[in-house]
Structure 1
Amino acid sequence: MNPVEPVHPPSVWLVTGYRAGERNQVLALGEALGWPFELKELSYHSTEFRTSLFRGSDLRGVRLDQSARLEPPWPDLVISAGMRNEPVCRWIRAQQGGQTRIV
């Protein structure tokens, strides 16, 4: 019989902001997967909401000094909710060369 190589679960980041409802949904999805995950809580500038609709993928609205660190190793999967987090999730995917999946 051939030994089976261990399968490693994908790396998962849960990206959340200040809204409890969005955070709870993201946590529920992450926990339902049964895989290990990192919680990345973000803090935003007060004017960020108005500009988030027009951004592609960047961190301009994020208060980096008050948020979780977004640095390698980049995740295989990002789970998030809410418009404010969308540009950040796209930025994370871009850092990984488009390989990160976003839910």
Structure 2
Amino acid sequence: MTMRSFIHIACLASAGVLLIACNSTSVRVGGAPEASVKNCVGAAARELKVPAASVVVDSGTTPRDGIYTINLKVGPQGRSVVCTTDENSAVLGVVYKRPQ
């Protein structure tokens, strides 16, 4: 094996490690873990009796440690919905937001 081949293999291995590290972190919306976001989309679809494809993640916040609030837009009108989850990504509630 030549030095050039060794460097090439080392670079590929490093890139693979970086890619794995980037993919292993959760996608977060306003601090909420990916599991919370997915669970909220599913719960909103079930609770509001709409297709999951019509539920769009808008934003999220972490008002307290371990509690996540995820704002969703539902349906063609984009009605605002709030979903809350606990630290284990269990959905605590899904409610329509009052219009402002």
Fold in common (TM above 0.5) = no
Pick the structure with greater CA Rg. Answer: 2
Answer 1 or 2: which has greater helix percent.
2
Bigger RCO of structures 1 and 2 (CA < 8 A, at least 6 apart): 1
TM-score, normalising length from structure 2?
Answer: 0.25
Answer 1 or 2: which has greater strand percent.
2
TM-score, normalising length from structure 1?
Answer: 0.25
